[in-house]
Structure 1
Amino acid sequence: MEKIPQQKAFNGLKIVLYGPESTGKSTLTKQLTQHFKTAHVEEFARDYLQDKYDATKTICEYHDLLPIAIGQRITENDAAQRATGYLFCDTDALETYVYSIAYFDKAPEELKTAVSKSDYDLYLLLDVDIPWVADDLRDKPEDRKGMFQYFKQGLQDFNKKYVIISGTGENRFKNALAAIENITN
């Protein structure tokens, strides 16, 4: 089986947009990328799982976790070669790990190792204070606060530096900018 690649070096700040589903990670990633005029990392799991759902009408299974983590890391390493100054990652291996614990009560050891060895300057943990948007893959609208706690615990378990980002619309973006400015000053 293919292994999760190591992170490639990046001469700038790596920031992960992180948290439960439907918290605006992809939107905020794109806003920050545009603001800082750099490249970003797309969420690999979104396309992978949507393709699976379209083909089989099934959602994520335990055996999907490593291919998702591998695809996410490959996508990150590719984006790191194009980015300048900042690299914004729409999720990472820790996100996959947390979903593994939340849904399957276990995680592949290789995934845990990849999280331990991952190096990011900051995680922006997105709060569940924006409206839920349903789609084919999202399935926990009634347990958003519980899922938020899983994500927060994952950051604490792996001793990752993070800031909780709350607010709606332009305020959410401004709060993210302020968190980034705090680590650059």
Structure 2
Amino acid sequence: MYNQAMVIGKFYPPHAGHAHLVTTAAAQSGKVAVLVLGSRFESITVEERVKWLAAEFDDVDGVEIIGMRNDCPEDYHSDEIWKAQTELMRLALKSHGVTSIDAVFSSEEYGDRLAAVFGAEHVLVDPSRSAYPISGTLCREDLGASWPHIIAPARQEMATRIVVVGSESTGTTTLTKALTEHYRPRFPGIADVPEYGRQFTYEKFDTLRSVVPDAGIQDMVWTAEDFSVIGARQNEMENAAADVCPLVIADTDSLATTLWERYYLGEGSYGSYHAADVLPRRDLYLLTDHEGVAFEDDGWREGEHRRAEMTEWFKEALTAEGHSWILVTGDHDRRLKTAIETIDLIVAQRSGFTSPPWASRSSVARPALEGAAA
């Protein structure tokens, strides 16, 4: 057992190979300092990477995640750059009370030289990447194919989340399904995230009819607890979709649930508000306009006269919460076009990784990644 080990990397983004490296170090060391060295020229901040890794290793004793800004060039042939780089590492460790290192765990050729600088032993871990055929380079070049290999906390925040909301019978489900099918060829793993409240309504009504056989929809009595369950489950469904695909298109969310609770129970009911307080990060709301859409009564709807009021509630809530939202209006094709034009730009922005010109590239073969992902 080593007393104090060190693992360094950009973790841009953190993936299963990184996790294997840290886990291996933790199994052989009393303590492991994981140095996250991120540059201002990269599009994921050091703070984000530290947060994701800390969540991943929260239950692993002895692992400490340390972030350090590193805008120094990379040049493995320059003694001067080596000194500049290693001094950043030394000070990052020193600032967290780590003054000596027994072992450097890495999968890189430079590990021997790095360990020598710290007077430590180099422990080489899976240099061929055969155990986990993934690299930061492959993740950045093809986020969709690499998605299963990125650590779970990172997937939750890196996913692009599009949420479709609107008052009754305004085409939210139609638009959500059309968008999901549009993006499925590009994102085969994209998951359906339906409106859980509708399923809950069906089940609640079936329960009522088992007791009162001739009960109608108007006889249903809603409670704050009902909306608490709906909001929490909607979050779970959305997060499950983010876990399997970098693009999530959801038919409503827990913020919308708070408005439906207000609709049915009035201003004083807050059963669903906890779910909205832990709302996953999102990129865009698409609010379906009630104007120009005929109200279709499928036997479960009763709010035609309040559609305009409800649409205004959505506008107010989304604005007050500081969310990005677009009122999608016009016929279905126009709405779909508006949505796709914006989503395409967001996806490109969210999946683009910037790097400084001196950034090194890992050499894991792409066929190995594709075989692992399959």
Q: Answer whether TM exceeds 0.5 for this pair.
A: yes
| Mapped partners of 1:51, 1:123: distance in 2 | 28
Shift in CA distance, 54/134, structure 1 to aligned 2, threshold 3 Å: farther
Shift in CA distance, 78/103, structure 1 to aligned 2, threshold 3 Å: same
Residue 24 (structure 1) aligns with: 171
Contact residue 228 and residue 275 of structure 2 kept, 8 A: no
**SS of residue in 1 equivalent to 2:158:** coil
**SS of residue in 2 equivalent to 1:167:** coil
Residues 93-151 of structure 1 deviation map (CA, whole Å, 9 limit, x = unaligned): 11101112233223426x33432442110100111021111123211112211111111
State which of 202, 216, 241 in structure 2 corresponds to 1:50.
Answer: 202
| Mapped partners of 1:117, 1:145: distance in 2 | 28
Question: 2:289 aligned with 1:127, yes or no?
Answer: yes
| Mapped partners of 2:284, 2:221: distance in 1 | 27
Shift in CA distance, 59/17, structure 1 to aligned 2, threshold 3 Å: farther
Shift in CA distance, 165/60, structure 1 to aligned 2, threshold 3 Å: farther
Letter in 1 for 2:273: K
Shift in CA distance, 128/60, structure 1 to aligned 2, threshold 3 Å: farther
Percent identity, aligned pairs only, is 30
State which of 86, 89, 93 in structure 1 corresponds to 2:254.
Answer: 93
| Mapped partners of 1:123, 1:95: distance in 2 | 11
| Mapped partners of 1:126, 1:107: distance in 2 | 25
Residue 3 (structure 1) aligns with: none
Residue 324 (structure 2) aligns with: 161
| Mapped partners of 1:26, 1:60: distance in 2 | 25
Question: Which consecutive unaligned segments of at least 5 residues does structure 1 have?
Answer: 1-7
**SS of residue in 2 equivalent to 1:95:** helix
Contact residue 228 and residue 273 of structure 2 kept, 8 A: no
Contact residue 50 and residue 136 of structure 1 kept, 8 A: no
| Mapped partners of 1:132, 1:12: distance in 2 | 34
Q: Greater CA deviation, 87-96 or 45-54?
A: 45-54
**SS of residue in 2 equivalent to 1:39:** coil
Q: Greater CA deviation, 70-79 or 51-60?
A: 51-60
**SS of residue in 1 equivalent to 2:179:** helix
| Mapped partners of 2:221, 2:257: distance in 1 | 11
Q: CA deviation at 1:51?
A: 1.9
Contact residue 167 and residue 290 of structure 2 kept, 8 A: yes
Question: TM-score, with normalisation over the residues of structure 2?
Answer: 0.44
Number of aligned residue pairs: give it: 176
Letter in 2 for 1:42: P
| Mapped partners of 2:278, 2:168: distance in 1 | 24
| Mapped partners of 2:221, 2:313: distance in 1 | 18
Letter in 1 for 2:257: T
Shift in CA distance, 97/89, structure 1 to aligned 2, threshold 3 Å: same
Q: CA deviation at 1:179?
A: 2.9
Contact residue 163 and residue 179 of structure 1 kept, 8 A: no
Q: CA deviation at 1:10?
A: 4.4
Q: CA deviation at 1:90?
A: 0.8
Structure with higher helix content: 1
Question: Which consecutive unaligned segments of at least 5 residues does structure 2 have?
Answer: 1-154, 185-189, 209-215, 350-374
Letter in 2 for 1:29: T
| Mapped partners of 1:47, 1:60: distance in 2 | 16
Moved over 6 A (4+): none
Residue 341 (structure 2) aligns with: 178
Residue 5 (structure 1) aligns with: none
Q: CA deviation at 1:24?
A: 1.2
Q: CA deviation at 1:47?
A: 0.8
Residues 3-37 of structure 1 deviation map (CA, whole Å, 9 limit, x = unaligned): xxxxx714331010011111111111111111111
Higher Rg: 2
Q: CA deviation at 1:156?
A: 1.8
Residues 61-90 of structure 1 deviation map (CA, whole Å, 9 limit, x = unaligned): 12310011122122222222222x310011
Higher relative contact order (Cα pairs below 8 Å, separated by 6+ residues): 1
Shift in CA distance, 60/171, structure 1 to aligned 2, threshold 3 Å: farther
Letter in 1 for 2:294: P
State which of 306, 311, 314 in structure 2 corresponds to 1:151.
Answer: 314
